[in-house]
Amino acid sequence: MRLRLAVEWVLIGMFATSILVAALHWKGTASFDHLLYDQLTAAQRPAADGDILIVAIDDPSLLALGKWPWDRKLHARLIRKIQGKQPRAIFFDILLSERSEPQADQSLAAAMASGPAPLFIPLHFSTPGNNGHDYDTIFPVPAFVQAASGLGHVNIAFDDDGIVRRTSLCFAPDPDGKSWPHLMTLTAKADRADITGPRCAVPRLIPYSHRGSFAEISYADLLAGEVPDALIRNKFIIIGATAAGMGDNFPTPNGEGGMLSGVEIMANVLAATRRGDFIRPLSDIPTYALSLLPMWVLMIIFLRFRPQLVLTISLATLIGILAVSILLLTNRIWFPPGTALLGVLMVYPLWGWRRLQAISTFMDTELRSFDQSDDMRVWPISYSQATDIVGRQSEALAHAIDHMRDLRRFVSDTLADLPDPMFVTDPDDRVTLTNKLLDERLGVDIYGRLLTDALDLMVVAEQRPQVDRYLGQPPKKDQEFVRFVSPAQLTFVMRRSEVRSDSGDLRGHIHYLTDITALAKAEVDREEVLQLLSHDMRAPQSTIIALLDSPINADAKKRIEQNARRTMQLAQDFVEIARMGESDFGGEDVLLVDLVRESADSLWPLAHERGIRFSFHDTSDSAFVCAEPESLHRAMCNLIDNAIKFSPDNGVIRVEISHHAKAYVAVTISDQGSGIDADILPALFSRFATTRHQTGRFRGVGLGLAFVHAVITRHKGSVTAQNGENGGARFTVTLPEARDE
Amino acid sequence: MRVVIADDETDVVAFLKSIVEEMGHIAVSYADGNILAQALMRETFDLVILDWNIPGKDGIALLKWMQSALPDHPPVIMMTNRSAKKDISDALNAGADDYITKPEDRSVVAARINAMLRRNAGAGAFDTEAVYGKYHLNRLDQNVTVNGRSITMTAKEFELADLFFRNADRTLSRNYIMETIWRTNAILATRTLDMHISRVRAKLDLQPENGFRIFTVFGYGYRLETIATSN
């Protein structure tokens, strides 16, 4: 893509350059340039030179003096009349290349030579010249040449459109090696020697004053003496034809509705010479440079800037070119901007077109390769058949974008619905993606956090080192996963895998979590079962076996029975606890106070035997709980049984049923026994803790308290134990109240 | 009292129902032996009037099942078209408490039912005053005194206490209690019954120390148990 564009760029540059060079060489933009030049110069015309007076051979003169050519004596009279009024110089612009009557010629020559002001006459050229010359120089009759103060050409140059804009101030050397100055230069010099005409290699452009703005008097009027002397004194007098019929009229820029007479053009040339403000056309090399430069600048800009900007820059360049041209013109230098403008106008669409073409081709290739890479083809892409290539491409692109969008959606949906929690981190170890399950399971939002911060929230502090060790190990891992416990006491296994791009760069990591809380619990359970079988159940059995070796008296019998019953009770409790974990909770409304009372009632014989009394305090206001009555009853029985067991004879067991917090009911059972050993208090309700402590108060309690804990937990309540202020144990069961809807 | 009629002939059922209800008792009927058996397990009745030829499980089979499965079963009156001496003796041997051959006079049937209910109601069930351990019940005043101390109770609470004392050591189904006390088949909010029993228990302080305990049979009903105390 880049290379192709670079080639296109060079080709466009070369193509445009050659077009521009051709245009410059063959003046392809001349019409435009002329038009522009005319408009620009029209805006600022010099005021007419007041020192110049035109004596016009106009239509009224022809009417008064008869038809042309006139008798040269007439001219002689005129010249003498003018000379008599002290003009500064006279330019006599009338063709004198043939002889007329000798007497008349003599009279004119004499008048011309009379002075005091210098008098100049023109010489002419005829093109093409004889003998293979470009032109022949046609001199006036020698008598006149001698009589005149100077001889020079009055050549004007016609542009391609036939308009007179310039004049060659000096004419190339003729075959005789003589180079003629412009007559107007001579005229001006005659007045002020310091005036140097401009170098004359290139024709100069004439700054025209408004048509008719030079002072002009009629030949006939002057001859008739109707002109005041003051009008002529100290003036440059130009005598020549202005009458329409005389053929000495030329088209000039902004001719303002007519042609300009040769004499008026000469007046303008003279004025410009005197002011020294001819406009010089820019010479070839700078012209070429200025014409090509903007185009290339633009080409370089094309490479650098965004397409939207390029249009603005192109327009700015166009204006810039015009501005430069105008600026130069005010400095009397003419740079035709047409070609430069053409370059800009040409290169912008060219480049746009080629680039579009290149992009189109690129897109086509890419789309084709996208279409063919079917490693993630979840849905088929269907192309409708648009007729044109751009239509097809846009459609293909739209499809590709749709496809990517679907794919992204699909991926995020898939991630969100993954059966396990997961999250993704970027190479900077920031969490960039999480799924629904992760938020749910962890109960924290780690999105956008750094991995270390996220782990602080996810992992209990003690296990951070092992997690860090796992994450810190090199890619080729020895350890496939790490196990940790979350602050919410859920157990997870985390696996991490790397994500790499096609080119092998690390894009980040995916972390998969698996909630193995149930599994971990099962492990603990199995441990406990093993403990139960290996120790707790074996111990009484071995006692029995040992007792069997001794004589079986009444005492031995009693002890054997005790041990057998203990084993039985253990097995029974164990089965019940296990069963509870397997079935769903099916509660019904139960009046808690009655349930507690009945539990006490059923243990009354046991209490009664030892003179133990119950003291009930019910402030629960007939609170109901949603309960499985049998198991809750048994749990209460266990607690009361426990209290009875450790109460002293004739003691009182206080049973309190009261509201606890909002929407909870509490049952508190306090005895007057010796209390609970502090060392086993924390683990009192864990399933096998009690059986492991074979000394002290809880010896032989079996699974009773574990059962209580299991039941109360199942009822979404809690059970706690503590020692009362006056000694004795106090168990508190808290259950959610079942409100009557 | 609550009488269950087991017969598949609607005329007979209507006839018996009218007799029972005329006497101020409650009548429930079943037309299938198996369904009756299930009802007997779940609920309390004071008398069963059993047809010999009932679909599902016949009368004799039901009698034998009740003997073995329900030691505390209500008395049974067998009703049948059969009048052979052998049939009568078979039925009585199988556990029936009385025997009526169809067709029988309305007044005779009423008398037989009444006699059976009275016989089963327990000693002193219909006296105006009764003594159960520490508790003196005066049915006219609906009043209970304990050790000479009178206990204030509502009518329903008294009836409930009376029902329990009269049926001491007999398990009463929740339905039985509700229909007997509230005279309705409509299902009361279960909490109403629980709370009444709780109040009776609390007011009369029915606990082993006082010679009685109310025992909940989960999923069935209640039983007032008398406790044999040493003193």
Classify residue A535 by its DSSP letter: I
Q: Using CB atoms, pick whichever of B190, B198, B208 lies closest to residue A594.
A: B198
Q: Tokens standing for A739?
A: 């409100």
- Residues B201 and B143 grouped into a single domain: yes
Q: Which chain A residues are closer than 8 Å to B201 by Cβ?
A: 594, 597
The pLDDT of residue A697 is 43
- Whether residue A655 contacts residue A600, with contact meaning beta carbons closer than 8 Å, is answered with yes
Question: Is 70 exceeded by the pLDDT of residue A472?
Answer: yes
A593 and B198 within 8 Å at the Cβ level: the answer is yes
A591 and B191 within 8 Å at the Cβ level: the answer is yes
Classify residue B141 by its DSSP letter: T
The pLDDT of residue A667 is 94
Residue A395: CA count within 13 A, CB half-sphere = 12
The amino acid sitting at A140 is P
Determine the distance in angstroms separating the CA of B218 from the nearest CA of chain A, rounded to an integer: 7
Determine the distance in angstroms separating the CA of B223 from the nearest CA of chain A, rounded to an integer: 12
- Residues B83 and B143 grouped into a single domain: no
B216 and A597 within 8 Å at the Cβ level: the answer is no
Those residues whose C-beta lies under 8 Å from the C-beta of residue B14, and which sit 6 or more positions away, are: none
- Residues B9 and B116 grouped into a single domain: yes
The pLDDT of residue A692 is 43
- Whether residue A438 contacts residue A423, with contact meaning beta carbons closer than 8 Å, is answered with yes
Question: Is 70 exceeded by the pLDDT of residue A392?
Answer: yes
Three-state secondary structure call for residue A471: helix
- Residues B17 and B86 grouped into a single domain: yes
- Residues B111 and B9 grouped into a single domain: yes
Locate the DSSP E strands across chain B. 2-6, 26-30, 47-51, 76-80, 98-101, 129-132, 135-138, 143-146, 149-151, 171-173, 212-217, 221-226
Determine the distance in angstroms separating the CA of B216 from the nearest CA of chain A, rounded to an integer: 8
Q: Using CB atoms, pick whichever of A589, A598, A630 lies closest to residue B190.
A: A589
Average pLDDT per block of 10 residues along chain B, 231 residues long: 87 89 88 88 87 84 86 84 78 84 83 82 69 86 86 89 86 84 70 88 88 86 78 44
The pLDDT of residue A565 is 83
pLDDT confidence tier of residue A197, bands split at 50, 70 and 90: low
Question: Is 90 exceeded by the pLDDT of residue A657?
Answer: yes
pLDDT confidence tier of residue A687, bands split at 50, 70 and 90: low
Q: Which chain A residues are closer than 8 Å to B215 by Cβ?
A: 598, 601-602
Domain boundary among B102, B120, B138: B120
- Residues B107 and B61 grouped into a single domain: yes
Q: Using CB atoms, pick whichever of B189, B198, B227 lies closest to residue A622.
A: B198
Q: Which chain B residues are closer than 8 Å to A595 by Cβ?
A: 216
Measured between CA atoms, the residue of chain B closest to residue A738 is: B191
A170 vs A40, higher pLDDT = A40
Residue A72: CA count within 13 A, CB half-sphere = 22
* Interval A651-659 mean pLDDT: 92
Q: How many residues does this entry show for chain A?
A: 741
The answer to whether residue B36 sits within a structural domain is yes
Those residues whose C-beta lies under 8 Å from the C-beta of residue A467, and which sit 6 or more positions away, are: A455, A459, A482, A484, A494
Phi, psi for A236 (deg, rounded to 5): -85, 120
Q: Pick from A349, A303, A340: which is nearest to A320 by CA? A: A340
Q: Pick from B193, B171, B170: which is nearest to B181 by CA? A: B193
Locate the DSSP E strands across B143-229. 143-146, 149-151, 171-173, 212-217, 221-226
Question: Which residue out of B174, B200, B209 would a mutagenesis test of the A interface target, given it has the greatest number of A Cβ atoms within 10 Å?
Answer: B209
Partners of residue A423 on adjacent β-strands: A434, A511
Kind of pairing between the strands at A150-153 and A119-126:
parallel
Domain boundary among B120, B140, B157: B120
Taking CA atoms, B137 is separated from A493, B144, B150, B158, B205, in Å, by 70, 5, 10, 9, 15
ipTM of the complex: 0.75
Judged by CB atoms within 8 Å, which residues 163-192 of B form the interface with A?
Answer: 189-191
Residue A541: CA count within 13 A, CB half-sphere = 11
Those residues whose C-beta lies under 8 Å from the C-beta of residue B174, and which sit 6 or more positions away, are: B190, B193, B220, B221, B222
Kind of pairing between the strands at A613-618 and A652-660:
parallel
Question: Which residue out of A588, A594, A622 would a mutagenesis test of the B interface target, given it has the greatest number of B Cβ atoms within 10 Å?
Answer: A594
The answer to whether residue B231 sits within a structural domain is no
Taking CA atoms, A202 is separated from A169, A276, A284, B189, in Å, by 8, 15, 11, 124
A572 vs A327, higher pLDDT = A327
Q: Which chain B residues are closer than 8 Å to A634 by Cβ?
A: none
Q: Tokens standing for B98?
A: 């009385």
Those residues whose C-beta lies under 8 Å from the C-beta of residue B2, and which sit 6 or more positions away, are: B25, B26, B28, B44, B45, B46, B47, B176, B179, B180
Vertex A402: Cα angle to A401 and A407 (nearest 5): 95
Instruction: Please check whether residue A587 touches B, CB under 8 A.
Output: no
Instruction: Tell me how far apart the 2 most distant CA atoms of chain B are, in Å.
Output: 58
Q: Pick from B148, B161, B146, B156: which is nearest to B200 by CA? A: B161
Q: Count how many domains chain B has.
A: 2
Q: Which chain A residues are closer than 8 Å to B198 by Cβ?
A: 591, 593-594, 622
Instruction: Please check whether residue A594 touches B, CB under 8 A.
Output: yes
B191 and A597 within 8 Å at the Cβ level: the answer is no
pLDDT in tens, A240-264: 888 877 777 888 886 566 678 888 8
pLDDT in tens, A133-192: 777 778 888 888 888 888 888 877 788 888 888 887 766 555 566 677 788 877 877 777
- Residues B110 and B137 grouped into a single domain: no
Q: Which chain A residues are closer than 8 Å to B197 by Cβ?
A: 594
Question: Is 50 exceeded by the pLDDT of residue A695?
Answer: no
Domain-by-domain residue ranges, chain A?
Answer: 2-38+283-366, 47-276, 377-415, 418-515, 584-736
- Whether residue B46 contacts residue B177, with contact meaning beta carbons closer than 8 Å, is answered with no
Judged by CB atoms within 8 Å, which residues 83-102 of A form the interface with B?
Answer: none
Cβ–Cβ pairs < 8 A, chains A and B: 50
Instruction: Please check whether residue A166 touches B, CB under 8 A.
Output: no
The pLDDT of residue A94 is 83
Domain that holds residue B191: 129-226
Can you state the angle between helices B155-166 and B190-204, rounded to 10 degrees? 80
- Whether residue A207 contacts residue A278, with contact meaning beta carbons closer than 8 Å, is answered with yes
Instruction: Please check whether residue A634 touches B, CB under 8 A.
Output: no
Q: Which chain A residues are closer than 8 Å to B207 by Cβ?
A: 597, 600-601, 604
- Whether residue A10 contacts residue A300, with contact meaning beta carbons closer than 8 Å, is answered with no
Question: Is 50 exceeded by the pLDDT of residue A306?
Answer: yes
Alpha-carbon torsion angle A108, A113, A114, A117, nearest 10: 120
Kind of pairing between the strands at A506-515 and A215-218:
unpaired
Question: Is 60 exceeded by the pLDDT of residue A376?
Answer: no
Question: Is 80 exceeded by the pLDDT of residue A341?
Answer: yes
Average pLDDT, chain A: 82
Alpha-carbon torsion angle A195, A196, A200, A203, nearest 10: -20
The pLDDT of residue A353 is 85
CATH topology assigned to domain A418-515: Beta-Lactamase (3.30.450)
**The domain made up of A584-736 is a member of CATH 3.40.630.30:** no
Instruction: Please check whether residue B67 touches A, CB under 8 A.
Output: no
- Residues B99 and B146 grouped into a single domain: no
Domain boundary among B91, B120, B149: B120
d(CA A217, CA A226): 10
- Residues B146 and B43 grouped into a single domain: no
The pLDDT of residue A693 is 43
Question: In CATH, what number is assigned to the domain containing residue B220?
Answer: 1.10.10.10
* Interval A565-570 mean pLDDT: 81
The pLDDT of residue A172 is 57
The pLDDT of residue A656 is 92
- Which of A59-68, A132-141, A193-202, A378-387 is most confident? A59-68
* Interval A306-334 mean pLDDT: 88
Determine the distance in angstroms separating the CA of A604 from the nearest CA of chain B, rounded to an integer: 7
pLDDT in tens, A254-291: 656 667 888 888 888 888 888 888 888 888 888 899 88
Question: Which residue out of A601, A624, A637 would a mutagenesis test of the B interface target, given it has the greatest number of B Cβ atoms within 10 Å?
Answer: A601
Kind of pairing between the strands at B129-132 and B98-101:
unpaired
Q: Pick from A655, A667, A673: which is nearest to A711 by CA? A: A667
Measured between CA atoms, the residue of chain A closest to residue B194 is: A591
B195 and A591 within 8 Å at the Cβ level: the answer is yes
- Residues B35 and B60 grouped into a single domain: yes
d(CA A52, CA A268): 9
Instruction: Please check whether residue A589 touches B, CB under 8 A.
Output: yes
Tokens 């991490």 -> residue: A496
A601 and B215 within 8 Å at the Cβ level: the answer is yes
A598 and B215 within 8 Å at the Cβ level: the answer is yes
The pLDDT of residue A669 is 93
Judged by CB atoms within 8 Å, which residues 126-155 of B form the interface with A?
Answer: none
- Residues B11 and B97 grouped into a single domain: yes
The pLDDT of residue A653 is 93
Instruction: Please check whether residue A525 touches B, CB under 8 A.
Output: no
Partners of residue A272 on adjacent β-strands: none
d(CA A603, CA A701): 16
The distance in angstroms from the start CA to the end CA of chain B is 34
- Residues B104 and B138 grouped into a single domain: no
Determine the distance in angstroms separating the CA of B101 from the nearest CA of chain A, rounded to an integer: 46
Determine the distance in angstroms separating the CA of A630 from the nearest CA of chain B, rounded to an integer: 7
Classify residue B209 by its DSSP letter: G
Tokens 């612009």 -> residue: A93
Q: Whole-model pTM?
A: 0.47
Phi-psi bin for A728: left (phi > 0), alpha (psi -120 to 50), beta? left
Percent of chain A with pLDDT over 70: 91
The pLDDT of residue A201 is 62
* Interval A476-505 mean pLDDT: 82
Phi, psi for A725 (deg, rounded to 5): -65, -35
Give the distance from CA A375 to its chain's centroid. 31
Q: Tokens standing for A572?
A: 């029974």
Percent of chain A with pLDDT over 90: 6
A595 and B215 within 8 Å at the Cβ level: the answer is no
- Whether residue A668 contacts residue A655, with contact meaning beta carbons closer than 8 Å, is answered with yes
Question: In CATH, what number is assigned to the domain containing residue B96?
Answer: 3.40.50.2300
pLDDT confidence tier of residue A40, bands split at 50, 70 and 90: confident
